[in-house]
C-alpha cells in the first residue's frame, strides 16, 4: 500500500502535521492503534505501508522508517465540556497568536486561512486545568454524508495536547498518538476541543484531548506523548512536533 501526504497538511513547513498523519495511518490499520512517529513525515513523498501483523504497520520513505503502529486503546476520559461560548473566550487567550514555532501548522497555525487550516486555537480555561477551543469544520473536510473524515478528527485531537503541556507554546515533538473516534461530527457543526496535562517525566509529557459535538456529546478522544528537544528549534529543521 502507498500513501502521500499533501503539502496542505503540514505541521512544520516541510513535514506533516502529526495528528493528521497519524489519522491517515490509523485508517490503514483498520483497528485501534497507537501511531509512533520516528522521523518527520515528509510531504509530497510516496510512503510505503508494510503490514507486520495485526495492528502492526511500518511506514517507510525508501529505506527510512518514518512511523510504526501497535494495537492499543485509550480510556474514555471523564471530562466536562465547556460551552461553545466558553471555548471562544478561552481561544482569545491562545498564546500562539503572540508566538508560534510553526505558524502555518494545518491545525493550530494562526497564518492559515478559513477553509484551508483547521484554525483550532486552544487557550486556558479559567478555573479549570484545561485548554479549550471552538472548531467549526469546513466543507473541505467532509464526505458526501456531510460528516468530517476521520483523519481530520485525529488532527483536531493533536495540537490541543501540545498547548496543554507547553503552555508557553515552546517547541515539543509529537512522539506518539492514540485516538478513538466514536462518531465523526458534521461539517458546519459548532464543536469544542479540549486538552489537559496528564503527567511529565523529564522531557516527556503526556496529554489527553477530547472533542465534543454541538450537543455536548463526546465524539473523539486521544492520548499523546510529547517530547521536548534537547536543544532549541535549530535542532528541528523539519522536526516532528506535528
pTM of the model: 0.93
Per-residue pLDDT of the chain (242 residues; tens, 9 = 90+): 999 999 999 999 999 999 999 999 999 998 899 999 999 999 999 999 999 988 999 999 999 999 999 999 999 999 999 999 999 999 999 999 999 999 999 999 999 999 999 999 999 999 999 999 999 999 999 998 899 999 999 999 999 999 999 999 999 989 999 999 999 999 999 999 999 999 999 999 999 999 999 999 999 999 999 999 886 443 333 333 33
Q: Which top CATH class is 2-71? A: alpha beta
Strands of the sheet with 204-212, listed across from one edge:
2-4, 46-53, 56-61, 64-71, 33-37, 173-181, 218-227, 204-212, 191-201, 131-135, 123-124
Residue labelled with grid coordinates 478528527: 153
Coil, strand or helix at 48: strand
What is the location of CATH 3.10.129.10 in the chain?
A: 2-71, 84-236
H or E, element range at 209: strand 204-212
CATH of domain 84-236: 3.10.129.10
Decide if 27 contacts 1 (C-beta within 8 A). Answer: no
Amino acid at each position: 500500500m502507498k500513501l502521500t501526504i499533501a503539502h496542505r497538511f503540514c505541521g512544520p513547513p516541510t513535514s506533516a502535521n502529526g495528528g493528521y498523519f497519524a489519522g491517515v495511518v490509523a485508517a490503514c490499520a483498520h483497528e485501534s492503534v497507537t501511531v509512533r512517529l520516528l522521523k518527520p513525515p515528509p510531504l509530497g513523498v510516496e510512503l510505503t505501508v508494510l503490514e507486520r501483523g495485526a495492528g502492526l504497520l511500518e511506514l517507510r520513505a525508501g529505506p527510512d522508517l518514518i512511523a510504526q503502529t501497535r494495537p492499543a486503546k485509550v480510556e474514555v476520559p471523564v471530562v466536562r465540556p465547556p460551552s461553545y461560548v466558553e471555548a471562544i473566550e478561552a481561544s482569545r487567550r491562545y498564546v500562539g497568536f503572540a508566538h508560534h514555532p510553526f505558524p502555518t501548522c494545518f491545525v493550530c497555525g494562526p497564518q492559515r486561512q478559513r477553509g484551508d487550516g483547521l484554525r483550532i486555537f486552544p487557550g486556558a480555561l479559567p478555573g479549570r486545568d484545561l485548554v479549550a477551543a471552538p472548531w467549526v469544520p469546513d466543507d473541505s473536510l467532509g464526505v458526501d454524508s456531510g460528516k468530517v473524515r476521520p483523519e481530520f478528527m485525529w488532527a483536531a485531537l493533536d495540537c490541543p495536547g501540545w498547548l496543554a503541556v507547553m503552555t508557553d507554546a515552546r517547541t515539543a515533538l509529537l512522539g506518539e498518538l492514540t485516538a478513538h473516534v466514536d462518531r465523526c461530527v458534521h461539517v458546519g457543526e459548532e464543536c469544542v476541543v479540549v486538552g489537559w496535562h496528564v503527567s511529565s517525566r523529564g522531557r516527556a509529557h503526556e496529554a489527553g484531548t477530547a472533542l465534543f459535538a454541538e450537543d455536548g456529546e463526546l465524539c473523539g478522544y486521544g492520548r499523546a506523548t510529547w517530547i521536548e528537544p534537547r536543544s532549541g528549534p535549530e535542532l528541528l529543521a523539519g522536526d516532528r512536533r506535528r
